[in-house]
Amino acid sequence: MDQHPILKATYASRAESATHPLTAYLFRLMELKSSNLCVSADVSTARDLLHLADKLGPSIVVLKTHYDIISGWDFNPHTGTGAKLAALARRHGFLIFEDRKFGDIGNTVQLQYVAGSARIIDWAHIVNVNMLPGKASVTALADAAARWRERYPYEVRTSVTVGTPRSESFDDDPPSSAPQANGNTADGQSGGSGLGDGKVDGRKGSIVSVTTVTQHYEPATSPRLTKDMAEGDETVFAGIEEAPTDRGLLILAQMSTVDTLAGPAYTAACVEAAREHGDFVMGFVSQQNLNTTADDQFLSMTPGCQLPPEGEGENGVVAGDGKGQQYNTPRKLIVGKGVDMVIVGRGILNAADQKGEAERYRKAAWEAYLERVR
């Protein structure tokens, strides 16, 4: 594969350059927890789901769910299964990815996302879409997320960073004309100002750049954070703020099955749609890194990851599951294919020691990332 510059960029540096608030937050989480592991929580009861999320939360940065295979799902928006998952995500520091694979006309996918009994948008930070119906499904989900955020009660926090260059960066003589200052935008969400390197009333001028960043968070008074929650559920993982309320989309661009119909033309259309909706699309579920142009900053999450039995190393045999699924090791995916995160399901869920196996996968995937960026 072509060596896109992003393959050598650290997660910390990508957090600084990311334009999607949720992507930036996820990269910060990955750096903080030394983890690029997503666990696919393919269990069948709400009790098992919450237990698994609590047990494996310290090792992961994303929990992938299929709410429609869960029996006993409590749909109460404030105290139900989704709200409890969100509380565990805050406590342990991970994001929730509902693997819904929306795949219908625009109006239908909007309703599936924001309405119905599950109200997925309320508790899932990330969802994905099967783009076979076309780009309209991506546009429809983006519009639905934008409208939801306008109506959803949130808390606005603004941070201002002021930078002044060193004195040696100034010329002895001022330029013939100083640039005009640019004020902050009216809504206060972003902006900058620059003052010229000229002399005013005989005094040496300076250059000051101001960057203002505003993000939206769920307010601490939200009933989802306080009402009928167990003691400690409202706590936030140490070292990072709670996730922004912004929602994100992954496009299903490639699959790990033997006879997938997601060919090159389909994948190219997925990348094109992602570029058109960069304020909502975080990246792809894919089998390789799909960044090709200089401006591409998309992340890639990859299923079909498995380690050989402990003691065999990554050169051991990793067979398929006999149902069309193909497996690759973390190193092959992260170093060889350039993906950012691995998604592991049965390799961890079927282990006698799920917590210990999750740590084994986390360490292997993280070491592969460190090898790639060296």
pLDDT in tens, 24-61: 999 999 999 999 999 999 999 999 999 999 999 999 99
pLDDT at position 20 over 90: yes
Q: Which pLDDT value is given to residue 88?
A: 94
Our answer to whether residue 104 is catalytic in this structure is yes
Structure tokens at 212: 């203002």
- Taking only the tens place, the pLDDT of each residue in 95-145 is 999 999 999 999 999 999 999 999 999 999 999 999 999 999 999 999 999
Structure tokens at 59: 């090792």
In a 3-state reduction of DSSP, which class is residue 182? coil
CB 62, CB 26: distance < 8 Å: yes
Q: Are strands 341-344 and 281-285 parallel, antiparallel or unpaired?
A: unpaired
Half-sphere CA count of 216, side-chain side, radius 13 A:
14
Q: State the catalytic residue, choosing from 33, 84, 99, 340.
A: 99
Average pLDDT of span 268-286: 97
Distances, alpha carbon 370 to alpha carbons 76, 258, 331, 338, 366, in Å? 42, 30, 10, 12, 6
Q: State the catalytic residue, choosing from 54, 104, 143, 296.
A: 104
Alpha helices in the chain (DSSP H): 11-17, 21-33, 46-56, 81-92, 106-114, 120-123, 135-151, 223-226, 264-276, 330-331, 346-349, 354-373
Instruction: Enumerate domains of the chain plus CATH numbers.
Output: 5-154+219-373 (3.20.20.70), 155-217 (no CATH)
Q: Tell me the β-bridge partners of 200.
A: 203
Q: Which pLDDT value is given to residue 255?
A: 87
Q: State the catalytic residue, choosing from 55, 68, 74, 101.
A: 101
Band the pLDDT of 222: cuts 50, 70, 90.
low
Helices 46-56, 354-373: axis angle to 10 degrees equals 50
CB 62, CB 38: distance < 8 Å: yes
Residue 276 — φ and ψ, nearest 5°? -75, -15
The position carrying tokens 């380690």 is 307
CB 308, CB 317: distance < 8 Å: yes
pLDDT at position 326 over 80: no
CA dihedral 144, 43, 77, 158 (to 10 degrees): -60
Our answer to whether residue 99 is catalytic in this structure is yes
CB 37, CB 362: distance < 8 Å: yes
The position carrying tokens 């986390």 is 362
Q: Which pLDDT value is given to residue 235?
A: 81
Task: Name the average pLDDT for the chain.
Answer: 83
The position carrying tokens 């699959």 is 255
Q: Which pLDDT value is given to residue 221?
A: 52
Tell me the binding residues.
Answer: 42, 64, 256, 325, 345-346
Our answer to whether residue 101 is catalytic in this structure is yes
Average pLDDT of span 6-12: 96
Structure tokens at 71: 């029996």
Structure tokens at 124: 């899932």
Per the document, the length of the chain is 374
Would you say the pTM of this structure is higher than 0.85? Answer: no
**Contact residues for 370 (Cβ-Cβ < 8 A; gap 6+):** none
Tell me the binding residues for substrate.
Answer: 42, 64, 256, 325, 345-346
